[in-house]
Amino acid sequence: MNNGGRSVDVASTTTTMDGQVAADDGKSKTVVHLMLSFRQLCVVTVSLPLGAMVICFVTAYIFQPDEIHETHCRVYNIIPSISAITGVSPQRYLWRICVAFHIGPRILIASVYRSYYKGQLAVAGGETVTRQGPLLLALCYWLNLIEIGALCGVTYISNRENYPVHEKIFILFMLCSLSHMLATLKLFKLVHPTMSGSERVSYATKKFLFAISIASTIGLMLFFAKHRLLCHDMAFSWFALCEYVIASANMAFHVTVVFDFPAEKLIVARGLHSISRKKTN
């Protein structure tokens, strides 16, 4: 035991009186201060905006129906947009708090994926991998980060406060989200020419969610045009429905990380360099 942490050694382990794991071969020692399930972290990260969206929808629909259904056309609608339910008070505060807690782990997950695919590319051979791999890896990483930044933008710059800016950031979010999905599918297929059972499930799920997102985006643009240009009844409701499907598919796409990292741990520790040296040797 050291510094109140968990002492873990490369060679042998024992259990201390307080239930923590300790190990020592007399040569090197690793002190683990924190160990989290990466899978659980990812699930909680996605659950934050999903839970907030559901709560905002239910409460705004019950208590503020006039505010959330108001549009420039003033036509009949039954489904409010995400911007509407997260732009009224007090729901906006819950939404912004949950997104704030969501952003940090998302950046961490993006960095883990970058490291994971970088390692996969290093062991994969072939001219195609060498030529396309680094480009796809960079695209996946930076598109993911821009998507996260755009999510911050549409969250903290509401359509009620500055509609032109909110609209442009939303378009950026959509473009980066779909492009990131496509680049991820290409990269996943590139580094997994032969897939295990869990890898096939992960790839098939990602493909399905990407297809749903594309179809919903087409519907979203069509119904937005009908609402904006023609002021059709229910056009905005269909637009909002497509928006909810896109948001749900986006969250589900990111939660497929549980297939790719089913047993990995997030560790804050001292002395892990000794493990790296032993693995190298």
Q: Which pLDDT score, from 0 to 100, does residue 77 have?
A: 87
User: Per the domain annotation, does 95 fall within a domain?
Assistant: yes
79 located within any domain: yes
Q: Where are the extended beta strands (E) located within the chain?
A: 6-8, 14-15, 21-22, 30-37, 265-270
Task: Give domain status of residue 138, yes or no.
Answer: yes
Please state whether the peptide bond connecting residue 49 to the residue before it is cis, i.e. omega within 30 degrees of 0.
no
pLDDT for res 16 = 43
pLDDT of residue 161: 87
Mean pLDDT by 10 residues, the chain (281 residues): 44 44 57 90 95 97 89 84 93 96 96 93 82 93 98 92 93 97 95 90 97 98 92 91 97 94 88 57 47
SS3 159: coil
Number of domains in the chain: 1
pTM: 0.85
Instruction: With respect to residue 31, please indicate whether it lies within any of the assigned structural domains.
Output: no
pLDDT given at position 58: 97
Q: Which domain holds residue 78?
A: 36-258
Q: Are 12 and 4 in contact (CB under 8 A)?
A: no
* Residue 247 maps to a domain: yes
- Looking at residue 28, its pLDDT comes to 62
CA dihedral in degrees (185, 190, 193, 198; nearest 10)? -40
Question: Residue 198 and residue 4: Cα distance in Å, rounded?
Answer: 37
- pLDDT value at residue 145: 98
Q: Is residue 213 part of a domain?
A: yes
Task: Say if 44 falls within a structural domain.
Answer: yes
Whether 24 is in a domain gets the answer no
Residue 17: per-residue pLDDT: 38
